[in-house]
Structure 1
């Protein structure tokens, strides 16, 4: 496994709408490995490989959750808005990077100290609107550095290898998927036309997939993403049965917790094909109905006249925490499965 590449894509800054850094890494990595690389006006990156009568669109989103400057007070403290599904409780005390036009600044997320909180405040969750970013800079300095309303802020986290083949890092959702898609493109000899799309703005409404699927007009779509691994304390197996190290996940359905509305009902033919393919390749897979989230596959399936679509997800602990834990073996199996998708006829 290419740990240097995974580390590079995990640590690249790129909240929704500001994915430029990760896009440049992908372009450089795939140069000479695919037939053509293109970028659309929205920021999606398209890597083309192979020819054939059928077009398979495979997506992995490049954006990460993060923050954006909302207000700068007279002392230089920055108030922020959240970009994507950022839980308030993971923010306090995080080290951050503020990406000014002229300078990148280090900072930390603070709030008033517990010593001066009233008794009832101590018992409450500190919400993000009570927090701020402290870079040490004055307001005039921030202006000089090009920090203003709309400047992106990323959490500063590196990749660390844990025991038993596990990895912890920022933005594994979905930089692990980007890594898998790049590695599969390098290895595979496609029998169909593969359009690998590294989509933008997934975390704020599947926007990149909506645009790109309309352009690609695929015969079949597959999204790569992460999903909730529940193999840790404080979560029941019936609520989240997926486990690290047990292989990639074939998502059967996802969407809102109360109804699965607004999500994906994976095409049964696609799920069956992926299941059979995994068995032939001797790849162990898991199956999931995910309540409470969705992926790019939801947008792909609704494009134009409709597209048979599915989703392959990599188990991750602590999703959207800025320290997401994944398994090397799951990622490696995912690369093999993606290569198999590219190298085998599709049942349509």
Structure 2
């Protein structure tokens, strides 16, 4: 069972809207939690947040995860007051129809629904086509543009209204586990390390970075500023243990079988090897996945910053990614801060990771 305070933190973090470029509210929740375990916390110009433990230690280890979720924004209001949208990140228009949404305005939240034409009215139109994002419209219950403009304005971010629930046992569902599970995990790592500070040689910088879903931007900023000697990145990966998903194409990743360790490209071989050693020592189950060119995560930009930061990606299996019903195992999730804390404690004073050339 997850510690109650940690579960409450996860639930609050997931339920707090944090669209790309508008992460402030979620970042405040994160900072409020980590400050109890850090010697120093701060944020930068764009809202990347950092919590530091054992300041002045060496090497400097960055634990990074992105705070933002996919979303939409107000793009156009028609004469009847219906709102058309732009996507912010990888929104699937086909599953966004008929969803309840919240528009986050300067005056507060405005509720709405994404309109969906009843099948009775389209049965003679032939096969229904998948909608594009520009086909979606939001109904906020007004009759004309002027009424809508009194409530919302162009650029206001929009998130789905779905929130955290326990589905069964340790299986949980939410709209935005991608990637609040990561920011939760780096915060929990700091909590686990705080009582072990006397044993800790490394300086640990837990990072909740912004705007991953729209271009990995926050990770580029904060990795450049912090100049870490090594980085562990936490994100979600696709669980492939449900119908219609090709394991031959996407690998064999299961819910409940532990976090996944990524091999290839941006993942530094010596760091991956150390993670495997630490996991074996602490009896933490690992799954494995391979990438070819890129991982699709912040690891892709952190590893080449400032001439190369040794990096490794740890991922939580996630069913139905980028949907209102992302499903994860909390048991899998708890292993991730345990693994990262053990990795941090394994570091020797001044240790650097290098590929040995024979």
What is the CA–CA distance in structure 1 between the aligned matches of 2:103 and 2:127, rounded to whole Å?
29
**2:213 paired residue number:** 203
What is the CA–CA distance in structure 1 between the aligned matches of 2:30 and 2:172, rounded to whole Å?
21
State how 1:186-225 maps to structure 2 within 5 Å: 186-188=191-193, 189=196, 190-225=200-235
Q: 1:8 aligns with which of 6, 12, 36?
A: 12
**2:325 paired residue number:** 323
What is the CA–CA distance in structure 2 between the aligned matches of 1:130 and 1:23, rounded to whole Å?
32
Q: 1:35 aligns with which of 33, 36, 39?
A: 39
Deviation at 1:104, TM superposition (A): 1.0
**2:98 paired residue number:** 93
Residues 1:280 and 2:291 aligned together: no
Question: Are the counterparts in 1 of residues 59 and 201 from structure 2 also a CA contact under 8 Å?
Answer: no
**2:82 paired residue number:** 77
Q: CA RMSD of the aligned region, Å?
A: 1.6
Q: 1:8 to 1:237 in 2, by over 3 A?
A: same
What is the CA–CA distance in structure 1 between the aligned matches of 2:290 and 2:89, rounded to whole Å?
22
Q: 1:17 aligns with which of 21, 38, 61?
A: 21
- Give unpaired runs (5+ residues) of structure 1: 254-263
Is the partner of 1:74 in helix, strand or coil? Answer: coil
What is the CA–CA distance in structure 2 between the aligned matches of 1:119 and 1:126, rounded to whole Å?
17
Per-residue CA deviations over 1:32-74 (Å, capped at 9, x if unaligned) read: 3101111000110011111422111110100000101110112
Q: 2:48 aligns with which of 24, 44, 49?
A: 44
Q: 1:326 to 1:290 in 2, by over 3 A?
A: farther
Q: 1:54 to 1:21 in 2, by over 3 A?
A: same
Question: Are the counterparts in 1 of residues 266 and 299 from structure 2 also a CA contact under 8 Å?
Answer: no
Aligned residue pairs total: 337
- The TM-score, its normalising length taken from structure 2, stands at 0.90
Question: Are the counterparts in 2 of residues 59 and 197 from structure 1 also a CA contact under 8 Å?
Answer: yes
Range 107-116 or range 2-11, more displaced: 107-116
Q: 2:344 aligns with which of 338, 342, 345?
A: 342
- The TM-score, its normalising length taken from structure 1, stands at 0.93
Question: Are the counterparts in 1 of residues 35 and 51 from structure 2 also a CA contact under 8 Å?
Answer: no
Question: Are the counterparts in 2 of residues 199 and 209 from structure 1 also a CA contact under 8 Å?
Answer: yes
What is the CA–CA distance in structure 2 between the aligned matches of 1:186 and 1:225, rounded to whole Å?
19
* Deviation beyond 4 Å, 4+ runs, structure 1: 118-121, 290-293
**1:248 paired residue number:** 259
Is the partner of 1:304 in helix, strand or coil? Answer: helix
What is the CA–CA distance in structure 2 between the aligned matches of 1:95 and 1:121, rounded to whole Å?
27
What is the CA–CA distance in structure 1 between the aligned matches of 2:328 and 2:203, rounded to whole Å?
30
What is the CA–CA distance in structure 1 between the aligned matches of 2:53 and 2:168, rounded to whole Å?
36
